[in-house]
Structure 1
Amino acid sequence: MLEIRQLRYVQAVAEELHFGRAAARLHIAQPALSRQIQKIEQQTGAALFVRTQRKVELTAAGALMLERSRSILRELEQLEQDVRRAGKGELGRLTIGFIHSSTYGLLPRTLQRFRDLYPDVELELREMSIADQATALARDHIDVGLTRPARYAPGIETLSIMEEGFVVAVPAYHLLASSASTPLARLSNEPFILFPRASSPLFNASILRMCEAAGFTPQAIQTATQVHTVVGLVSAGMGVAIVPVTAKNMQVSGVAFLRIQEDPPPVSVVLAWRTSREMPSLRAFRAIALTVGEEFMAEQAITRLRR
């Protein structure tokens, strides 16, 4: 089998059509180059060059060898560059699971920044619930999940990238709609739209806990898993709801958002991934998501100070 260095020998002689210049270009002695070309011709069973005292010419076999050698050497150079870039996280494919609420701020900014820095990494996005992401990670169906804290299988690591507070959502015609904030106790007699315990255990538990701390149990008249569905039901006048603060970015008409005076504990947005799937593109995505999450928390802090 021919070696890469032999292809370079043939290419140099074929392009220079002069053994002396080709040898100088390759930084080897001319007799050594002549012996190498003879060896290649013996190896292939075909004359590659017609040599006379005045000139060197390519045979048909030599012209074919030059064409194929150029193609192979270009491919090898590209392979070396691609492997180097893949090692830096600049190439490859990343499959990302995400919760719907992340699409109202965190995910778009993270994706835009990642694409700007790593345009040749192919991203596959899958909207999934928290439970579905946990299953997909365990089965290697996604590389990373933008999700919430949950019970994950062994070998899955999580990183909190953002703490997200809660606000009260009320219909625009509600008596509280003109208020900037409210104590939760004022909602004790209101019909509530809640996140279901089965599919949204974190939100369900957090909201019940904060209401119980305010002295009441919310009267649930409807449940909905997705934040945008909950806000839509509030807009329709079905009841009030406690939702993550990113719901304000949905710009749903007919809804007013109020700060909760008790300032209940926030919930985390986390990245989750299998440690066995660690790769440069994942590390890059993780670093960018962490930076974006810190930016959002800083913006939220500034907003609270202004109030």
Structure 2
Amino acid sequence: MEPLDLRRLRYFVVLAEKLNFTRASEQLCIAQPALSQQIRTLEREVGARLVERHPGGCSLTAVGKVVAAKATLLLAQARAARDDIDAAARGQDGRIRLAYTRSARGGRVDALIERFRAQNPHVEVVPETGWHAPNVAGLLAGRYDAAFVRPPLDEPGIRWRLVDTEELRLALPSGHHLARVRRVSREEVAGEPAVMWPRENGPGMFDRIVAQVWPSGINLVRYEPDDEQLLRAVAAGGVVAAVPEGRAKALRLRGVVLRRLTPPIPTVDIGLAWNDRTSTPVVQRLLATLDDPGEPPSGGS
């Protein structure tokens, strides 16, 4: 048997409710002869009589009652499926594979995602955490739908929006002589043994930090994998580090003092990136969340 036509089933369900061709055709906004023709066609498709016609209306046959019950259920399922499809097309359903960057948890990043979750309760957020370079590689490879990154970045096909701009703070051992001053100049920090994470983790951010904090060149004596380990190295003594303010405050460690640098104030950006070739409606809804009141203006390209 061929699949039954949903439109004819809808006509039949209305007729089963009204038990009158005139009233059913009025509700359906079709001519009564056209409704009668549709019901006769449905009866041929089913292979059995569905209604008994009377002078004052009609009644359902035994088969008609079964068809009416099953058709009501089937139409409800079809409407639910249509609603799910529409929600997915609008980005209100489905999932988003999202990569955080290790150096930017908390603050506006977490607030953005919490607001997105609240506005889109039927979207599943599948999070991971990595460095800038692996996050961009994941976007290019299709492993992620969106990722937080540290601009600048100029990979073809990758676009980004500015989420936040953070001030860089200088992390010093608590016993360091510069820990006694409120602001540290570039001249004072020049030549101090410094610790950084590997440049390949985020080349653009690495170069931007060095250019702003150590414009005459960095005395890099040690590498650590992430900001937490940078601060632990500082706490152990002998090295200094430049760390984004939000991450530095979230990871406050005993033995570490945070100091501001003199103007020009060094900063780093946090952006939300996506692959323009594989963008989904859910990604577009996440980007729209950035435009909510209180969010910073967009940036990048």
Unmatched segments (≥5 aa) in structure 2: none
The answer as to whether partners of 1:104 and 1:249 remain within 8 angstroms in 2 is no
Tell me how far 1:189 sits from its aligned partner: 5.5
From 39, 44, 47, the counterpart of 1:45: 47
Shift of 1:227: 1.6
Residue pair 1:208, 1:218 contacting (<8 A) in 2 also: no
Counterpart selection for 2:136 from 134, 137, 159: 134
The 2-side partners of 1:37 and 1:43 are apart by: 10
Superposition map of 1:214-225 within 5 A: 215=216, 217-220=218-221, 222-225=222-225
Q: For residue 232 of structure 1, what is the amino acid of its counterpart?
A: R
Residues 19 and 57 in structure 2, CA contact (< 8 A), matched pair in contact too:
yes
Structure 1: state its 5+ residue gaps. 296-307
1:191–1:219 contact (8 Å) kept in structure 2: yes
Q: Is residue 114 of structure 2 the alignment partner of residue 112 of structure 1?
A: yes
The CA deviation string for residues 275-307 of structure 1, in whole angstroms up to 9 with x for no partner, is 112333222212334666528xxxxxxxxxxxx
Instruction: Tell me how far 1:109 sits from its aligned partner.
Output: 0.5
SS at 1:162's partner residue?
strand
TM-score by length of 2: 0.84
Give the distance between the partners of 2:121 and 2:47, measured in 1 at CA: 46
Please tell me whether the aligned partners of residues 114 and 285 of structure 1 are also in contact (alpha carbons under 8 angstroms): yes
Counterpart of 1:147? 149
- Residue 129 to residue 212, structure 1, CA distance change in 2 (3 Å): closer
Change (3 A) 1:44 1:89: same
- Cα distance in 1 for partners of 2:7, 2:81 equals 17
Give 3-state SS (helix, strand or coil) of 1:165's partner: strand
Is 1:192 aligned to residue 204 of structure 2? no
Aligned CA distance change for structure 1 residues 232 and 203 (closer, same or farther; 3 Å): farther
> RMSD in angstroms over aligned alpha carbons?
2.8
Alignment partner of 1:248: what SS?
helix
Q: Aligned pair count?
A: 293
Given that 2:151 and 2:269 are in contact with CA atoms closer than 8 Å, whether structure 1 keeps it comes out as: yes
- Cα 1:100/1:56, change in 2 over 3 Å: same
- State whether residues 195 and 223 of structure 1, in contact with CA within 8 Å, keep that contact through their aligned partners in structure 2: yes
Asked if structure 1 preserves the Cα contact closer than 8 Å seen for 2:134 and 2:201, the reply is no
Aligned-pair distance for 1:128? 1.8
Superposed CA offset, 1:125-174 (max 9, x none): 12121111221111111112210235554222233333333110123344
Q: Deviations over 1:22-63 (max 9, x none)?
A: 233223344443333222112210122344557744334223
Distance in 1 (CA, whole Å) between partners of 2:21 and 2:196 is 83
**Partners of 2:159 and 2:274 in 1: how far apart?**
6
Answer whether contact 1:188 1:217 (CA < 8 A) is retained.
yes
Question: Which deviates more, 110-119 or 32-41?
Answer: 32-41
